[in-house]
Amino acid sequence: MNGNIEFKGSYALLKVSLGPGEQIKVEPGAMVYMRGPIEVQTSTGGVWKALKRTLLGGESFFMNTYISRGDSEIGIAPELPGDIEIVQTNGTLFVQSTSFLASDPQIDMDVSFGGFKSFFSGEGIFLLKLEGYGQVAISSFGGIKMLELGPGDSITIDTGHVVAFDGSVNWNVRTFGGFKSTLFGGEGLVCDFRGPGRVFVQTRNYPAFVEWIRSLVPRETGSR
């Protein structure tokens, strides 16, 4: 993926240059513009996998692949305001469903069930599982930061701030502190990660932002 990130920060745009025959897999609705001889192929990538992505992972049933027939360019952006990072994948990368943006065509996408330990707040109990060797573009709500964990290193992250992590990382979701801390401390669920591997976090919490918006909406009292 010959990509360049413009306007890095809150409103990032991924600009990808494609040579003759080169391809890129893109999340539906993420294309901002395309220039040059580009053919778009829409497919499921396998009906069973597509059904799992849609019903369990909250993703689109279809996936768009852009194939260049000459020198061309495509601009890609996420639907949420935030940053973009190009990640080199060497095996397995787990990504929250709202954060996949694009990838090299050889990267395989599936949905992974990790049991109830993977109950990410607002994200359900399923994660996108990307497998293969190549580059993946991920997006965040707010800024994005990579945290590198060495063997045995550990870190605790609020689940609403988790964007992606390597398959080599061990992880577990738990409540924050005791009963009172979970209900009244404003944290809810947190995720413990143990290295080696990378963990990508976002500086803003999408589920918390949605709840804040809801709090501003006047509620009906039932009387008129």
Q: Encode pLDDT of 81-102 as tens digits.
A: 999 999 999 899 999 878 999 9
Please tell me the total count of domains within the chain. 1
pTM assigned to the model = 0.80
Any domain includes 220: no
Three-class SS of the chain: CEEEEECCCCECEEEEEECCCCEEEECCCCEEEEECCEEEEEECCCHHHHHHHHHCCCCCCCEEEEEECCCEEEEECCCCCECEEEEEEEEEEEECCCCEEEECCCCEEEEEECCHHHCECCCECEEEEEEEEEEEEEECCECEEEEEECCCCEEEEEHHHEEEEECCCEEEEEECCCHHHHHHCCCCEEEEEECCEEEEEECCCHHHHHHHHHHHCCCCCCCC
- Residue 63: band (very low, low, confident or very high) from pLDDT cuts 50, 70, 90: confident
In a domain? residue 28? yes
How confident is the model over 28-47, as pLDDT tens digits?
Answer: 889 999 999 999 998 655 54
Among 109-113, 123-127, 199-203, the minimum mean pLDDT is found in: 123-127
Residue 210 has pLDDT above 70, yes or no: yes
- 123 found inside a domain: yes
**For residue 219, is it within any domain?**
no
Domain assignment present for residue 222? The answer is no
- Which tens digit of pLDDT belongs to each residue from 137-158? 999 999 999 999 999 999 999 9
Range of the domain at 57: 2-214
Domain annotation covers residue 223: no
In the predicted model, is pLDDT for residue 113 greater than 60? no
Give domain status of residue 163, yes or no. Answer: yes
Q: Looking at residue 19, which CATH number applies to its domain?
A: 3.60.160.10
- Is residue 107 in some structural domain? yes
- pLDDT value of residue 57: 46
Determine the pLDDT at residue 32. 97
Whole-number pLDDT of residue 173: 84
Question: Between 118 and 112, whose confidence is greater?
Answer: 112
